[in-house]
Amino acid sequence: MQAIQFTRPEEINLIDLPEPSLPGPGEALVRTHRMGICGTDLSGYLGKMPFFSYPRIPGHELGLEVLAVGDGVSNIRPGDKASLEPYVNDPASPTSLKGSSNCCPGVQVLGVHTDGGLRDSWIVPARKLHPGNHLSYDQLALVETLAIGYHAVQRGNPQPGETVLVIGAGPIGLACLEFLKLMDVRVVIMDMVQGRLDFVREKLGLSNGILVRGDGSGSELAELEALTGGQLADVIIDATGSAASMSTCFQYAAFTGRVVYVGITTQELKFPHAPVFHRRELTLLASRNALPKDFGEIIKLIGEGKIDTDAWITHRLPFAEVPTGFAKFTDPKLGAIKVIIDL
């Protein structure tokens, strides 16, 4: 059986693996049909992902076919199509027991901390599979990305009539927008790339876009004030992973606003406390991974036609071409929104 391995930063190899054994109790044998490339995979390839270790088989955004199940498995059956919840937690940990399996202290993300799905067939915990037989493998491969955005929106808890500002129109920011556009809120998107703002307007129907010029003129804040009548944003979701953005985004927050960090940085963050954070009595929230219930809700929304995943897929890459073709997607000038690897 062949698999793709990130052997070390900026080195990809096609490797041979033994065929997987039959699934044990609580396990499922699955075949990967589609894999979505995300920022984590790109950062892992470049050696810039802090949680990534080598060698590693990537792949956590997956459209899977269930081949066999072990004893005690009742949530999934052979022949089912499924999405994977790739956050393998300890069900007995205090954090998991209180319903926060997404940030269990010992959580291992498949394709990041341990080997993932960029291979033909493999064994996974059956409890992490979410069936979606009415969806395509392409759609199922996008569920995990959407789940990250869904969870971030839930953390911000927008209320009817509020203004929500999403900073960063990459895949995670777009995932947030998919759910915000279904809510009774004013949505504003901010990004440094005009092409992404155009994509949001043309494909998602959201026209309140602000281009970040980064020239120190304060034009972004002025535009947001104009859009909101000076009230600014009740909820800010920063999906950039940029320390600079995450340190300055509080200026866009309304009094008693909520700021959600869904992007990740390893740098220290500094922001003004008394004049902005304290004075406006802001709330700062982190958003990590997603919850099991999020996957079922997203599969339902896609099935109902409320989320169109076709617009997301801008590029495809055959499995055999991954070693030579993957690197080009690290260049933002390519304009890729979501790349799907066909196995």
What single letter denotes the amino acid at residue 320? A
Confidence at 48, pLDDT banded by 50, 70, 90: confident
Number of residues assigned to the chain: 343
What phi and psi values does residue 73 have, to the nearest 5 degrees?
-95, 125
The structure's pTM equals 0.94
Neighbouring residues of 339: CB distance < 8 A, sequence distance ≥ 6: 36, 37, 313, 314, 315, 316, 317, 329
Q: What is the pLDDT of residues 312-335, one digit of tens each?
A: 999 999 999 999 999 999 998 888
Distance CA 16, CA 205 (A): 45
At residue 215, the pLDDT reads 79
Find the DSSP H helices in 54-97.
Answer: 94-97
B/e letters for 79-109, b = 16+ CB within 10 Å, e = fewer, are ebbbbbbbbbbeeeeebbeeebbbebeebeb
Q: What value does the mean pLDDT take over residues 16-38?
A: 96
Is residue 305 packed enough to be buried (19+ CB in 10 Å), middle (13-18) or exposed (0-12)?
Answer: exposed
Q: What value does the mean pLDDT take over residues 8-23?
A: 95
Contact assessment for residue 87 and residue 107, using Cβ atoms and an 8 Å cutoff: yes
At residue 218, the pLDDT reads 84
Contact assessment for residue 63 and residue 138, using Cβ atoms and an 8 Å cutoff: yes
Closest Cα to residue 140, out of 117, 123, 111?
Answer: 117
Q: What value does the mean pLDDT take over residues 31-35?
A: 98
Residues 299, 175, 10: CA angle, nearest 5 degrees: 105
- Tell me 229's DSSP state: T
Confidence at 53, pLDDT banded by 50, 70, 90: confident
Q: What value does the mean pLDDT take over residues 49-77?
A: 94
Q: What value does the mean pLDDT take over residues 276-286?
A: 97
At residue 333, the pLDDT reads 83
At residue 326, the pLDDT reads 96
Distance CA 63, CA 254 (A): 40
How much of the chain exceeds pLDDT 90, in percent?
90
What single letter denotes the amino acid at residue 75? N
Contact assessment for residue 81 and residue 140, using Cβ atoms and an 8 Å cutoff: yes
Closest Cα to residue 262, out of 146, 169, 149, 174?
Answer: 149
Tokens of 3: 């698999």
Distance CA 303, CA 60 (A): 21
Q: How far is CA 39 from CA 112, 169, 331, in A?
A: 12, 12, 12
Handedness of CA 328, 5, 130, 137 (dihedral sign): positive
At residue 51, the pLDDT reads 79
Contact assessment for residue 298 and residue 152, using Cβ atoms and an 8 Å cutoff: no
pLDDT surpasses 80 at 216:
no
Distance CA 339, CA 319 (A): 12
**Residue ranges of domains in the chain, CATH in brackets:** 2-133+309-342 (3.90.180.10), 149-286 (3.40.50.720)
Q: What value does the mean pLDDT take over residues 100-128?
A: 95
